[in-house]
């Protein structure tokens, strides 16, 4: 028997759970100011995330996907990307988006049910949130192909969850990227659970990074709770892609400390012991420990940071709550040049039930001339 191919998957970690260096410090981390900036960004997204969950619980926000526990992966990726690169997120990569210029108000607007939140004032070329699973990987591959055709020194980066790697679109994107040597990086956030489905029920593979092998591209696994390692590995992959070296698949091992979304109850399928163990290795704790050991962080700075973050979040929430809500017509705009009859009827129904709750408003009168009164048309 002849062996025709072999592969290995490297694992990268720089800062262990106790905040100790277990590998050489990356060049960017030689500056304590840069490390503090990343820690502040991680804290900022956690404070925002907590507030967003509270808004949902009090009926002021729609179903929301918490990012608790993912902060190191999100900030590491954001810090590694260049402004001209393109991000193709899933739906919980708020840390990366905030780093790149998306505002808290925009995030709240979208998850409050208003698509105008997708119209980012900051990174205009980044893709919007993607709720369909794995289609964003194809978007990123397509953008990367355009960069290559135009000979632009830009890269695309697509996020995907561990469960999303079971989707056909993921493999299609990987195959295209490998075959065409596209400047794209695929970032798997492996938090152990695809909603209530554990990783062991998703795949028999020892790692998710090895799924790169079938596409003929490099695959690497990284400690997703170590912001140093994430930033270094993603930076290397992006620079290789930018030089024409082709794509890379990175698997970041982390943990979802909260529910999948606010419509989920993770306590029904995860043990308390498992979650408690994950809290002991969470990303903010280890980086804060490291900064304290370096003598650049203390309790006073921590409290000041938390107060600043809370003020910023509260300001964004107030702006979001003042924002005029869209008409229900917005759900039907931009679908067809001429709206079909059944959608005209649905639009009229939406208008009726929306306006009927606004007593005394001139908008409470249904324009039934276009689609029929829902009280008499069977809707």
What angle do the packed helices 299-322 and 104-111 form, to 10 degrees?
A: 50
What stretches of 84-187 show up as alpha helix (H) in DSSP? 94-100, 104-111, 135-150, 168-179
Task: Give the integer Cα–Cα distance in Å for 341 and 338.
Answer: 9
Helix (H, G, I), strand (E, B) or coil at 50: helix
Is 256 noted as a catalytic residue in this protein?
yes
Burial class for 359, CB neighbours closer than 10 Å (0-12, 13-18, 19+): exposed
Cβ(91)–Cβ(131) under 8 Å?
yes
Task: Give the integer Cα–Cα distance in Å for 68 and 15.
Answer: 19
Burial class for 331, CB neighbours closer than 10 Å (0-12, 13-18, 19+): middle
Query: CA 132: distance to chain centroid?
Result: 13
Kind plus residue range of the DSSP H or E element containing 21: none
Task: Give the integer Cα–Cα distance in Å for 94 and 78.
Answer: 10
User: Tell me, what DSSP letter sits at residue 58?
Assistant: T
**Which residues on neighbouring strands pair with residue 158, listed in sequence order?**
88, 186
Task: Give the integer Cα–Cα distance in Å for 343 and 205.
Answer: 45
Catalytic choice (74, 256, 270, 351): 256
In Å, how far are 157, 279, 316 from 104, measured between CA atoms?
Answer: 21, 25, 6
E-strand stretches of 43-113: 86-88
Catalytic choice (154, 231, 260, 286): 260
Kind plus residue range of the DSSP H or E element containing 284: helix 283-293
Catalytic choice (57, 82, 269, 353): 269
Task: Give the integer Cα–Cα distance in Å for 89 and 160.
Answer: 8
Tell me which residues are annotated as active site.
256, 260, 269
């Amino acid at each position: 028997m002849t062996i025709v191919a072999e592969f290995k998957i490297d694992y990268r970690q720089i800062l262990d759970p106790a905040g100790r260096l277990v590998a050489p410090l990356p060049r960017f981390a030689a500056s304590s100011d840069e490390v503090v900036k990343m820690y502040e960004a991680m804290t900022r997204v956690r404070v925002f995330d907590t507030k967003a969950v509270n808004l949902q619980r009090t009926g002021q926000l729609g179903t929301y996907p918490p990012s608790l526990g993912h902060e190191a992966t999100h900030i590491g990726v954001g810090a590694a990307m260049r402004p001209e690169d393109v991000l193709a997120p899933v739906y919980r990569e708020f840390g990366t988006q905030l780093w790149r210029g998306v505002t808290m108000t925009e995030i709240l607007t979208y998850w409050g049910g208003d698509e105008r939140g997708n119209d980012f004032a900051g990174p205009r070329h980044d893709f919007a949130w993607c709720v369909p699973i794995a289609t964003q990987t194809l978007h990123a591959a397509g953008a990367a192909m355009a960069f290559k055709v135009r000979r632009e020194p830009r890269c695309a980066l697509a996020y995907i969850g561990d469960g999303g790697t079971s989707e056909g679109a993921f493999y299609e994107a990987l195959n295209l990227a490998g075959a065409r040597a596209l400047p794209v990086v695929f970032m798997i956030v492996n938090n152990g659970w695809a909603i209530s489905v554990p990783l062991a029920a998703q795949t028999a593979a020892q790692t998710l990074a090895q799924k790169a092998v079938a596409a003929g591209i490099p695959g690497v696994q990284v400690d997703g709770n170590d912001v140093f390692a994430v930033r270094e590995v993603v930076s290397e992959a992006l620079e290789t892609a930018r030089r024409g070296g082709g794509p890379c698949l990175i698997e970041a091992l982390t943990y979802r400390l909260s529910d999948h979304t606010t419509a989920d109850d993770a306590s029904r399928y995860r043990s308390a012991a498992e979650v408690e163990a994950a809290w002991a290795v969470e990303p903010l704790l280890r980086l804060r420990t490291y900064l304290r050991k370096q003598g650049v962080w203390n309790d006073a700075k921590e409290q000041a940071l938390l107060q600043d973050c809370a003020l910023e979040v509260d300001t964004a929430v107030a702006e979001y709550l003042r924002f005029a809500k869209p008409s229900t017509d917005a759900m039907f705009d931009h679908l067809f040049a001429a709206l079909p009859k059944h959608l005209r009827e649905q639009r009229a129904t939406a208008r009726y039930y929306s306006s009927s709750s606004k007593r005394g408003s001139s908008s409470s009168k249904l324009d039934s001339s276009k689609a029929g009164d829902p009280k008499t048309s069977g809707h």
